[in-house]
Structure 1
Amino acid sequence: MMNPLQSPKYFDLRTQPPNPDHGHGHHDDDAAADASDSLTDWDGKEHLDAWSDEDTARNQPLVLRRRKTRARKIREAVASLRSLLDTVLLLVILGLVLERRGQREGRYEFAGDLSGFAPRFSQQIKTFVPDPGFVPENGSEFFTKEVREKWLSIVPKGLGYVRINDTKGYDNLPTPLLFYPNSTFTTSMTHQIHCLHNIVEVVAALTSNQPDMMPMEGAWHLSHCFEYLRQSIMCCGDVALEGQQTTFPEGWKGSDGWDAKHVCKDYSQVISYLEDNSADKDVWI
Structure 2
Amino acid sequence: MSRSFDKDSSARASSEFLIEHQARPQRPTRQPWSMRKAALVTVCILVGSLELIVLETILVRWGEARGCPPALLSELNNLVPNFPTTPVLFRKDAFATVDHESEQSRNITRDNWLSYMPKGNGFIAVNDSEKYQLPDPIPFLGQSAYSIAVFHQLHCLYAIMDIYNDLTSERPAGHADHHHHGREEASAHHHVDHCFRYLRQSLLCCGDTALEGQDPNTNKTGTDGTGAVHMCKDFETIRSWAEDHRLVNNKDALK
Aligned counterpart for 1:130 among listed residues 92, 99, 103: 92
Q: Which amino acid aligns with 2:143?
A: N
Does 2:184 align with 1:219? no
Residues 99 and 105 in structure 2, CA contact (< 8 A), matched pair in contact too:
no
What is the CA RMSD across the aligned residues, in angstroms? Answer: 3.2
> SS in structure 1 opposite 2:143?
coil
Does 2:154 align with 1:193? yes
Q: Structure 1 residue 267: deviation in Å? A: 0.8
Higher-RCO chain (CA-CA 8 Å, sequence separation at least 6) = 2
Residues 142 and 204 in structure 1, CA contact (< 8 A), matched pair in contact too:
no
Residues 160 and 190 in structure 1, CA contact (< 8 A), matched pair in contact too:
yes
Does 2:240 align with 1:278? no
Unmatched segments (≥5 aa) in structure 1: 1-88
Q: Structure 1 residue 138: deviation in Å? A: 1.5
1:143-158 aligned within 5 A: 144-158=106-120
- Which segments of structure 1 move beyond 6 Å, counting only runs of 4 or more? 89-92, 100-104, 211-216
> Which residue of 1 is the match for residue 37 of structure 2?
none
Unmatched segments (≥5 aa) in structure 2: 1-49, 176-180
> SS in structure 2 opposite 1:162?
strand
> Which residue of 2 is the match for residue 239 of structure 1?
209
Q: Structure 1 residue 209: deviation in Å? A: 2.1
> SS in structure 2 opposite 1:183?
strand
Q: Structure 1 residue 204: deviation in Å? A: 0.8
1:12-161 aligned within 5 A: 96=57, 99=60, 107-138=69-100, 140-141=102-103, 144-161=106-123
Q: Structure 1 residue 228: deviation in Å? A: 0.6
TM value normalised by structure 2:
0.66
Q: Which amino acid aligns with 1:136?
A: V
Q: Summarize the Cα distance change of 1:140–1:196 in structure 2 as closer, same or farther, 3 Å threshold.
A: farther
Q: Which amino acid aligns with 1:229?
A: L
Q: Structure 1 residue 245: deviation in Å? A: 0.9
Residues 195 and 225 in structure 1, CA contact (< 8 A), matched pair in contact too:
yes
Percent same amino acid among aligned pairs? 35
Q: Summarize the Cα distance change of 1:226–1:119 in structure 2 as closer, same or farther, 3 Å threshold.
A: same
1:254-269 aligned within 5 A: 254-269=222-237
> SS in structure 1 opposite 2:237?
helix
Per-residue Cα deviation, 1:35-78 (whole angstroms, up to 9, x for no partner): xxxxxxxxxxxxxxxxxxxxxxxxxxxxxxxxxxxxxxxxxxxx
TM value normalised by structure 1:
0.59
